[in-house]
Amino acid sequence: MSDAPEGPQRETSADGTSLAGRMAHIRHKIMVLSGKGGVGKSTVAANLAVALSLAGKRVGLLDVDFHGPSIPKLLGLEGRRVEAKGETILPVLYDDRLKVLSLGFLLAGRDDAVIWRGPMKMNVIRQFLEDVAWGELDFLVMDFPPGTGDEPLSVAQLVTGPRGALVVTTPQEIALADVRRCIGFCRKVEVDVLGVVENMSGFVCPSCGERVDIFKRGGGEIMSREMGVPFLGGVPLEPKLVEACDAGRPVVLSDPHGETARAFLHIVRPILEVDAPSDEPTPTGIRKEDGPMRIAIPMANGRLATHFGHCQEFVFVDVDTGTKTITARRTEGAPEHEPGLLPQWLAERGAGVIIAGGMGSRAQTLFQQQGIRVVVGASSLEPDDLVRKYLDETLETGDNICDH
């Protein structure tokens, strides 16, 4: 394919006024990059965008991987076409909070090849940024091809305002070497590195749940420390993720309480922090008023623990906040008590809310930093009763039994 795809074409202003005006309505631009192909970058970009929209954010997802546009398949949007209104391109709506644009929507067939040189790529990227009706967005997530070539360089040159890069790797050294170069590229073009995600971080057996480190594990975290950038977490490789990709339904929706979805929600919390007011706690990654949520109840001797740090076990109650119903319930023994451990431990298990009898102010701050809402002063009721009252907004709370 040597010509530009179908769609409106027009000359853009030489001074970039129209582009700057469009970008001014987008608060944060996130470039999802990888130095190497085959690391699952598009899967990360799709689940990141959906998780941000579940958190109540207005999100755009732009697929700039011209030679392998995967986003339509990952979101179940294959066969959709973009429309135009005058000289403006209308993105495809995934839901009422997520807008999507991919070159895949413009190709006549899914097997068509895009054979473009650099200048053509830059012109189309500019058109995707300038001529698309993105509207007011909190985040624009951009999925790029591997490497540090024309596409990321074009966006780095065109886009102004808050912008950052999410760098995806796999644990083995051959991928990490390419990621180091990708981080170096970001620094040269003055794009902040928001963090590194280690994809395929262990294989989870669907039968027994055992984790096997096929590609090793932990290399991304070590490399992040060496490069002085944040490590956002690892995403395991499991059959449910593969099935979700093939079915066109992101795993954060198809299996919201599974290990992989919890890993994505853990990764998205620091991204949400960049859009959260400094005096408010970070959102949990799932909106309270719409969607799945996991609530943690600390228990001791079969009753609600007076202080969460002295609990013997946690009851995890999964709920659908839209219908205000309990969907699942399980109990897990609490880890050995260490200062600052429980907030991270609960975040890794996907908890969005903790209901406790009492909790110290420092611990509450640590939970807020993990994006977990804290409810203290609850009465000693059965866990299901506490959850139902919380969902109905009839939960009565008294004094914080342990405020230190």
Do residue 298 and residue 267 come from a single domain?
Answer: no
Q: Residue 299: which CATH number?
A: 3.30.420.130
Does position 18 have pLDDT exceeding 60, yes or no?
A: yes
Tell me the pLDDT tens digit for each residue of 166-195: 999 888 777 677 888 888 888 888 888 999
Give percent of the chain above pLDDT 70: 79
Residue 400 lies in a domain: no
> For 142-159, what is the mean pLDDT?
78
Does position 315 have pLDDT exceeding 60, yes or no?
A: yes
**What pLDDT, on the 0 to 100 scale, is given for residue 1?**
36
**What pLDDT, on the 0 to 100 scale, is given for residue 400?**
61
Do residue 204 and residue 74 come from a single domain?
Answer: yes
Do residue 47 and residue 113 come from a single domain?
Answer: yes
**What pLDDT, on the 0 to 100 scale, is given for residue 124?**
78
For the chain, the average pLDDT equals: 79
Does position 140 have pLDDT exceeding 80, yes or no?
A: yes
Do residue 258 and residue 323 come from a single domain?
Answer: no
Do residue 56 and residue 144 come from a single domain?
Answer: yes
Residue 8 lies in a domain: no
Do residue 147 and residue 263 come from a single domain?
Answer: yes
Does position 226 have pLDDT exceeding 70, yes or no?
A: yes
Q: Residue 117: which CATH number?
A: 3.40.50.300
Does position 117 have pLDDT exceeding 80, yes or no?
A: no
Judged by average pLDDT, the poorest of 40-54, 93-107, 279-293, 353-367 is 279-293
Do residue 247 and residue 297 come from a single domain?
Answer: no
Does position 59 have pLDDT exceeding 90, yes or no?
A: yes
**What pLDDT, on the 0 to 100 scale, is given for residue 32?**
92
Do residue 254 and residue 339 come from a single domain?
Answer: no
Do residue 48 and residue 176 come from a single domain?
Answer: yes
Examine the fold and report which residue of 244, 273, 302 is the final residue of a domain before the chain moves on.
Answer: 273
**What pLDDT, on the 0 to 100 scale, is given for residue 43?**
92
**How many distinct structural domains can be found in the chain?**
2
Residue 41 lies in a domain: yes
**What pLDDT, on the 0 to 100 scale, is given for residue 387?**
92
Examine the fold and report which residue of 273, 306, 331 is the final residue of a domain before the chain moves on.
Answer: 273
Residue 259 lies in a domain: yes
Most confident of 254-263, 323-332, 352-361: 323-332
Does position 289 have pLDDT exceeding 70, yes or no?
A: no
What residues make up the domain containing 339?
A: 292-391
pTM higher than 0.75: no
**What pLDDT, on the 0 to 100 scale, is given for residue 156?**
80
Do residue 138 and residue 219 come from a single domain?
Answer: yes
Instruction: Identify the CA nearest to 131 among candidates 152, 158, 111, 157.
Output: 158
Judged by average pLDDT, the poorest of 9-18, 78-87, 107-116, 140-149 is 9-18
**What pLDDT, on the 0 to 100 scale, is given for residue 284?**
35
Does position 74 have pLDDT exceeding 80, yes or no?
A: yes
Do residue 221 and residue 321 come from a single domain?
Answer: no
Confidence of residue 7 (pLDDT cuts 50, 70, 90): very low
**What pLDDT, on the 0 to 100 scale, is given for residue 278?**
43
**What pLDDT, on the 0 to 100 scale, is given for residue 62?**
92
Residue 278 lies in a domain: no
Residue type present at position 344:
Q
Examine the fold and report which residue of 273, 306, 340 is the final residue of a domain before the chain moves on.
Answer: 273
The C-alpha R_g of the chain, in whole angstroms, comes to 22
**What pLDDT, on the 0 to 100 scale, is given for residue 258?**
81
**What pLDDT, on the 0 to 100 scale, is given for residue 6?**
43
Tell me the pLDDT tens digit for each residue of 351-367: 889 998 888 777 777 78
Do residue 382 and residue 296 come from a single domain?
Answer: yes
Confidence of residue 159 (pLDDT cuts 50, 70, 90): confident
Instruction: Identify the CA nearest to 89 among candidates 137, 158, 154, 135.
Output: 135
Q: Higher model confidence: residue 121 or residue 94?
A: 94
**What pLDDT, on the 0 to 100 scale, is given for residue 295?**
93
Does position 290 have pLDDT exceeding 60, yes or no?
A: no
Does position 116 have pLDDT exceeding 60, yes or no?
A: no
> For 231-256, what is the mean pLDDT?
86
Confidence of residue 216 (pLDDT cuts 50, 70, 90): low
Residue 3 lies in a domain: no
Does position 339 have pLDDT exceeding 50, yes or no?
A: yes
Residue 193 lies in a domain: yes
**What pLDDT, on the 0 to 100 scale, is given for residue 288?**
40
Does position 100 have pLDDT exceeding 90, yes or no?
A: yes
Residue 142 lies in a domain: yes
Judged by average pLDDT, the poorest of 67-71, 76-80, 280-284, 372-376 is 280-284
